[in-house]
Chain A
Amino acid sequence: MVDDYIAAYSRDGRIPLLKAISSSLETEVHEALSDLPHIDRISFRVKEAISFAKKAVDTSTTPPYTNPITEIEDQVAGRVIVFFREDINIVKNRLVSGTFTTVEQTHKRPTRDEEFGYESHHVICNIPPQVKPKNWDLQDDLPPTFELQIRTIFMHAYAEPQHDLVYKGPDDLPKKIRKELAWIAASAWGADEAYLRFYHWYCSIYSRDKLKGR
């Protein structure tokens, strides 16, 4: 089954089309955010075939996929990493009002306030007409949507190294390892909060100095 999905995903000509969309979307996001400060990086990628296939056969998906080849929405995915927590909504508002039409927005975070873990803002967008290569609409096995993630540097620092280890790794981690990961997540959350307080203090001081002509 996995091999069938890999073959379908990688059929002749399909991945180059996904890469073309990925490149065009990255340009689109760069242009949309070009005048905004505090953007650390913008990147887009095409999902690896094996990663797609594993997701397609994952029985824990709710509701289950009927046609994964078009339903899996992060085949093309982008990420915008910002400096401060308050920049997330600024970037998101810029992208969902005026740049892309959106299907769904999710703030992924631990369900309980006292928990620390993965946190990221996800937006599912319709692939707009202007980024599609000429023969895109002739295919019937391409996704109509793509995924955007918006995070701070610290959210990303927590999420990225452990993504393959916990999200797709063994179900049971030793208790001490879970605590270590929670500590890293809490530290990332704390660093985000502290950096934002620093930034607000800096802005208030800078504004005061400017008024006094310093």
Chain B
Amino acid sequence: MNLYRLYAFTVKPSRTSRSSTPIEGGIVTITKELRKLINDSISTANFNKRSEIAFVTDQTTRTNPIRDNIISVAYNSDDLALAASYELASALSNAMDQRSLECLFIIAVQQNTNIRAVTLWTFPRDQAFRFNSSKGKPLIEVLTDVFSRTSNLRKAALYQGKQLRNDFMTGKVLDFQAGKSSNEIANYWLSKFLSSTLAIQSESGTRLLAKTLRQAHDVCDKRADREQFFVAMISIRAALRTRWSLKDFADQYLSGLAKVHFLEAIPNENTLVSSFEFNREIFDSSIKFRIFHLDSGVIVSSPLDEIGKSIKLTSEEPRQLSCEGIILDERLRIRHG
């Protein structure tokens, strides 16, 4: 992909301001050094391993102002592309409130035949020291018009496709703050500015997590590995964090063969790394019971939250199960269940 358009703006928060904040910036001449810098930044962002997102469109017209401006920046004439870049910068300013720092907003457009890739970056304002000891007299300058390339507050998004009615509908997002217990700051980038949502929706993602756990559990034949899944299931239900990817879950809660089998049950790389909002109710309804087959031929089916209460399990081998409760119903059957 060849870098062929570059725009840069300083953007200040204006969402809670009484008046709009002027946007400064415009088209940037692409120098050899800048081309290398941008290309390296895109390469190290590793968007293939980032969450997939989807534009929230008007369901009648299928339009989204951010998508429309991104396509304009990518494909339109120079004048219209520049106007669209200002629109994007303005939208970013309107999405940011006083909790966000002023930032450098960069729009990079790459092309390869009829495919375009548009990368949006924000780099927060920072301070830096410049040290000079020439002429034997050390001098420290405080630079305030710098923006951090490495700050954890920086964000990025990539959209790529052709100029078609159903292309540029999805993209990838990079947010170093994602995964923290508070999603508020991350949400300004995803929902308020990009006007997008996670591509794996909450209920689908939660069902997928439950299904992957079940599949991995059933493949594991060692008790210690299976126990990891039970502990993980209890832990994620109690976690404050709500936004997960399957990779986050595996890294946080699993190890060894349990983790291997869990990762093997995931259909593709994109699914592994794409985030979703965990839904406790859906999760509980997807994994409802633990089933134990005893050496006596008895089968015990227990709701998960009864383990440790009316169902007691020993931890030493051979493990034993004891169960106590009031009989509500009793039937004669040819088969179990």
Which residues of A are in contact with B by a Cβ distance under 8 Å? 24, 28, 31-32, 35, 63, 66-67, 70-71, 73, 97-106, 124, 126, 128-134, 136-137, 143-145
Taking CB atoms, residues of chain A closer than 8 Å to B57 are 102-104
Question: Is the CB–CB distance between B52 and A129 below 8 Å?
Answer: yes
Taking CB atoms, residues of chain A closer than 8 Å to B270 are 129, 132, 137
B199 within 8 A of A: yes
- Chain A nearest Cβ from B164, distance in angstroms: 5
Taking CB atoms, residues of chain B closer than 8 Å to A101 are 54, 56, 170, 197, 199, 201
Question: Is the CB–CB distance between B203 and A98 below 8 Å?
Answer: yes
- Chain B nearest Cβ from A124, distance in angstroms: 8
Question: Is the CB–CB distance between A103 and B201 below 8 Å?
Answer: no
Chain B contact residues, majority secondary structure: loop
8 Å CB contact of B268 from A28, A99, A100, A133: A133
Which residues of B are in contact with A by a Cβ distance under 8 Å? 52, 54, 56-57, 59-60, 62, 161-167, 169-170, 197, 199-205, 207-208, 267-268, 270-271, 274, 279, 285
- Chain B nearest Cβ from A26, distance in angstroms: 14
A32-B207, A104-B57 provided; 4 other pairs, C-beta below 8 A? A66-B163, A101-B170, A129-B270, A132-B271
8 Å CB contact of B170 from A99, A106, A126, A143: A126
Question: Is the CB–CB distance between B207 and A31 below 8 Å?
Answer: yes
Question: Is the CB–CB distance between A143 and B204 below 8 Å?
Answer: no
8 Å CB contact of A102 from B59, B203, B208: B59
- Chain A nearest Cβ from B198, distance in angstroms: 8
Question: Is the CB–CB distance between B268 and A129 below 8 Å?
Answer: yes
Taking CB atoms, residues of chain A closer than 8 Å to B271 are 129-130, 132
Q: Which 10 pairs, one residue from A and one from B, show the smallest C-beta to C-beta distance?
A: A98-B203, A101-B54, A129-B270, A105-B59, A104-B62, A130-B271, A129-B271, A145-B166, A98-B201, A134-B268
Question: Is the CB–CB distance between A144 and B167 below 8 Å?
Answer: yes
Question: Is the CB–CB distance between A32 and B203 below 8 Å?
Answer: yes
8 Å CB contact of B164 from A70, A99, A133: A70
Taking CB atoms, residues of chain B closer than 8 Å to A24 are 267
Question: Is the CB–CB distance between B166 and A71 below 8 Å?
Answer: yes
In the assembly, what is the distance between CA of A24 and CA of B204, in Å? 12
Question: Is the CB–CB distance between B201 and A100 below 8 Å?
Answer: yes
Taking CB atoms, residues of chain A closer than 8 Å to B161 are 144
Question: Is the CB–CB distance between B201 and A99 below 8 Å?
Answer: yes
